[in-house]
Amino acid sequence: MAGNRIHSIHSTQAAPPGGHYSQAVAHGGVLYVSGQLPVRANGEHSAGQLFAVQASIALDNLVAILGEAGLGPRDLLKVTVYVVGIEHWPAFDQIYARYLGEHKPARAVVPVPVLHHGYLIEIEAIARATQEQPA
């Protein structure tokens, strides 16, 4: 994936893009993952679901996209989470910790007044796109 080319990443295990964008793009050893809403891979919306369900679906999408690029959660460098209702922060932190384990990338949780389709969460991320070789 290294080099000057931009590589688009698409996973059928994650929600398809709902607009003119890629699920992720890789360039220069970095993977940029577009904001993932809690839409299931089959396109089913979950806006009426509890926050924990929505958070898990968005994280499932993120993990699927990482997997399509040959990566995993341990490759995440920076995660930005947009949350409607700051009261959801503790619940998100617990769910997020289950997905990432001991790995703790840089992260921002941004409270927002509203998200598309009435969702409660959106997650975007940056990951290393190439594995470092052992010394």
83: domain CATH number is: 3.30.1330.40
d(CA 118, CA 80) in angstroms, rounded, equals 19
pTM, two decimal places: 0.92
> Is 87 a domain residue?
yes
Helical H segments across 1-106, by residue range: 51-68, 89-100
Q: What integer pLDDT is reported at residue 131 of this predicted model?
A: 55
> Is 2 a domain residue?
no
Q: What is the average pLDDT score of the chain?
A: 93
What burial class does residue 9 get, using C-beta atoms within 10 Å of its C-beta: 0-12 exposed, 13-18 middle, 19+ buried? buried
> Which residue, 103, 101, 98, 107, is CA-closest to 125?
107
Higher pLDDT, 133 or 71: 71
User: With bands split at pLDDT 50, 70 and 90, how would you rate the model's confidence at 134?
Assistant: very low
**Does pLDDT of 1 surpass 50?**
no
Q: Which pLDDT tens digit goes with each residue over 31-79?
A: 999 999 999 999 999 999 999 999 999 999 999 999 999 999 999 999 9
**Does pLDDT of 10 surpass 60?**
yes
Report, as an integer, the average pLDDT of 5-12: 95
**Does pLDDT of 93 surpass 70?**
yes
Residue count of the chain: 135
Specify the number of domains making up the chain: 1
Domain span at residue 68 reads 7-128
Please say whether the beta carbons of 124 and 107 come within 8 A.
no
**Does pLDDT of 24 surpass 70?**
yes
> Is 110 a domain residue?
yes
> Is 85 a domain residue?
yes
Q: What integer pLDDT is reported at residue 79 of this predicted model?
A: 98
> Is 135 a domain residue?
no
